[in-house]
């Protein structure tokens, strides 16, 4: 079974630009969560989508947004990039429902903002 | 919201020794506690988890213990090997929800 895939793996952008990251969950998984990982802050929850609806949201500004498609694939968008947005962005999928919500992470997208 | 604290932030052990990483959580509603291992350049990988109706779970050299009263849980790795060197994260969540709160990570180095 294929794991969680994220594209692109690396991105370099300049301040003020916007960026879109993509995540394909494990087949059959309907929940996709996004995290920002930085050396100083660790793993911080951005938002979670389930059946095309945002179900949970972390404490990030409105510049960070996302969406989920009917095939459960998800995209994350960051507008008006700032230097502090440089981070590893991780996507995690889970099946959801019942007593099973193990999250499986993708390899991440390394975003560098210059 | 939930607050997860993890200690120590770095840990060095000799190959063959045991390693213990501890986490505390604040929200008594949390009932699912996974542990992740992250190697350089990779995403976190789930290595073991425990639910609040269980006090201990073991999988070969890895074990996790949970004390609901004290709100803390620990990862135990026995007979450590160099390939155990990585960053380990604990997390807490509510099974009926899907928002995970992560500890700040422990960088484990196993010295051959």
pLDDT digits 0-9 by tens, A8-42: 999 999 999 999 999 999 999 999 999 999 987 78
Q: What is the pLDDT of residues B32-70, one digit of tens each?
A: 999 999 998 889 999 999 998 889 999 999 999 999 999
Residue B104 at interface with chain A, using a CB cutoff of 8 Å = yes
C-alpha closest to that of A33 among B75, B62, B72, B34: B34
Measured between alpha carbons, how far is residue A57 from residues A54, A62, B46, B49, B66 in Å?
7, 11, 22, 24, 28
C-alpha closest to that of B34 among B43, B20, B45: B45
Which residues in A lie closer than 8 A to residue B100 (C-beta atoms)?
33, 45, 92, 103
CA distance B96 to A52: 18
**Helix, strand, coil % over all residues of chain A, rounded to 5:** 5, 55, 45
Average pLDDT over residues A87-113: 86
Is the Cβ pair B41, A107 closer than 8 Å? yes
pLDDT at A98: 46
Task: Decide if pLDDT at A48 tops 50.
Answer: yes
Average pLDDT over residues A56-77: 95
Verify cis geometry, omega within 30 degrees of 0, for the bond prior to B8. Answer: yes
How near does any CA of chain B get to the CA of A81, in Å?
Answer: 23
DSSP state letters, B23-84: EEE--TT--EEEEEEE-TTS--EEEEEEETT-SEEEETTEEEEEETTTTEEEEEE-S--GGG
Average pLDDT over residues A61-74: 96
Which residues in B lie closer than 8 A to residue A42 (C-beta atoms)?
89, 102-105
C-alpha closest to that of A23 among A35, A11, A47, A6: A6
């Amino acid at each position: 079974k294929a794991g969680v895939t994220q594209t692109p793996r690396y991105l370099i952008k300049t301040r003020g630009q916007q960026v879109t990251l993509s995540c394909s969950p494990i087949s059959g998984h309907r929940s996709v969560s996004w995290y920002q990982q930085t050396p100083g802050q660790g793993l911080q929850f951005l938002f979670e989508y389930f059946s095309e609806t945002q179900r949970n949201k972390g404490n990030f500004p409105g510049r960070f947004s996302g969406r989920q498609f009917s095939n459960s694939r998800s995209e994350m968008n960051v507008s008006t990039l700032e230097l502090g947005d440089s981070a590893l962005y991780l996507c995690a999928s889970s099946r959801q429902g019942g007593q099973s919500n193990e999250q499986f992470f993708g390899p991440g997208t390394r975003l560098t903002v210059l | 919201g939930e607050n997860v604290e993890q200690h120590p932030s770095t840990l060095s052990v000799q190959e063959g020794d045991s390693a213990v990483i501890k986490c505390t959580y604040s929200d008594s509603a949390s009932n699912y506690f996974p542990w992740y291992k992250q190697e350089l350049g990779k995403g976190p990988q789930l290595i073991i988890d425990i639910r609040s109706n269980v006090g201990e779970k073991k999988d070969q050299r890895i074990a996790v213990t949970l004390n609901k009263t004290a709100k803390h849980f620990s990862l135990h790795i026995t007979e450590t090997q160099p390939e155990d060197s990585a960053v380990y994260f604990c997390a807490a969540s509510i099974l009926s929800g899907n928002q995970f709160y992560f500890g700040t990570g422990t960088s484990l180095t196993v010295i051959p």
